[in-house]
């Protein structure tokens, strides 16, 4: 793919890509920027290549997810971050529902599957391609995630 076309596609999906990077980094803004920058560099240098087997967005999200995973693994290994400090509770006023914190209570896989389906509008097949999981596994995470989130939402209302 030519650089101009690639750049154009990346620009088109930039906002969605940033949101996804942010979600993969537990809404840590600086980490998300770092992950996105690294992902773009991977693509520009040819380390990550779009082979047109899936949609561009699905492929881009997979690159970002893998980059975020590597980045967070290194962070945990070298800095031993306190998991409590990663709770995405900042900048949200107390009188509003903290959707991010609510979602963060779900297991990571369930969070990602629900975000990709409901937030980013992907099909289960596209989610499977992005997360590198079997579509049956994705379906399981999807069903369990929905049930768990409903329980959390009900608890929040009470």
Question: In this structure, what token pair is assigned to residue 6?
Answer: 């690639």
Contact call for residue 81 and other proteins (CB under 8 A) = no
Q: Which residue has the tokens 């499977």?
A: 128
From the list 2-10, 54-62, 64-72, 73-81, the region that binds other proteins by CB under 8 A is 2-10
- Choose between 15 and 132: whose C-beta lies nearer to other proteins: 15
Residue 116 is classified by DSSP as: I
Extract the runs of DSSP E, i.e. beta strands, from 91-135.
Answer: none
93 binds other proteins (CB under 8 A): no
14: three-class secondary structure by DSSP = helix
Candidates 5, 29, 134, 155; binder of other proteins (CB under 8 A) is 29
CA angle 59, 128, 81 (to 5 degrees): 80
- Is 128 a binding residue for other proteins by CB under 8 A? The answer is no
How far is CA 128 from its chain centroid? 13
* Span near other proteins by CB under 8 A; candidates 30-38, 56-64, 77-85, 123-131: 30-38
Q: Cite the beta strand spans of 58-127 per DSSP E.
A: none
In the DSSP assignment, the letter for residue 47 is S
Can residue 123 be called a binding residue for other proteins (CB under 8 A)? no
- Name the site residues for other proteins (rule: CB under 8 A): 3, 6-7, 10-11, 14-15, 18-19, 22, 29, 33, 36-37, 40-41, 43-47, 91-92, 96-97, 99-100, 103, 114-115, 118-119, 146, 149-150, 153
């Amino acid at each position: 793919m030519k650089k101009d076309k690639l750049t154009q596609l990346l620009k088109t999906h930039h906002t969605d890509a940033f949101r996804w990077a942010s979600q993969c980094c537990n809404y840590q803004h600086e980490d998300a920027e770092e992950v996105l920058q690294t992902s773009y560099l991977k693509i520009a240098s040819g380390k990550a290549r779009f082979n047109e087997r899936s949609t561009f967005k699905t492929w881009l999200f997979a690159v970002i997810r893998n980059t975020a995973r590597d980045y967070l693994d290194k962070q945990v290994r070298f800095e031993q971050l306190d998991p409590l400090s990663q709770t995405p509770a900042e900048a949200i006023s107390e009188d509003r529902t903290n959707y991010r914190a609510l979602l963060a209570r779900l297991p990571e896989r369930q969070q990602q599957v629900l975000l990709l389906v409901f937030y980013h509008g992907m099909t289960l097949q596209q989610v499977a391609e992005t997360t590198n999981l079997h579509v049956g596994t994705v379906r399981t995470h999807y069903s369990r995630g929905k049930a768990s989130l409903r329980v959390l939402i009900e608890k929040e209302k009470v």
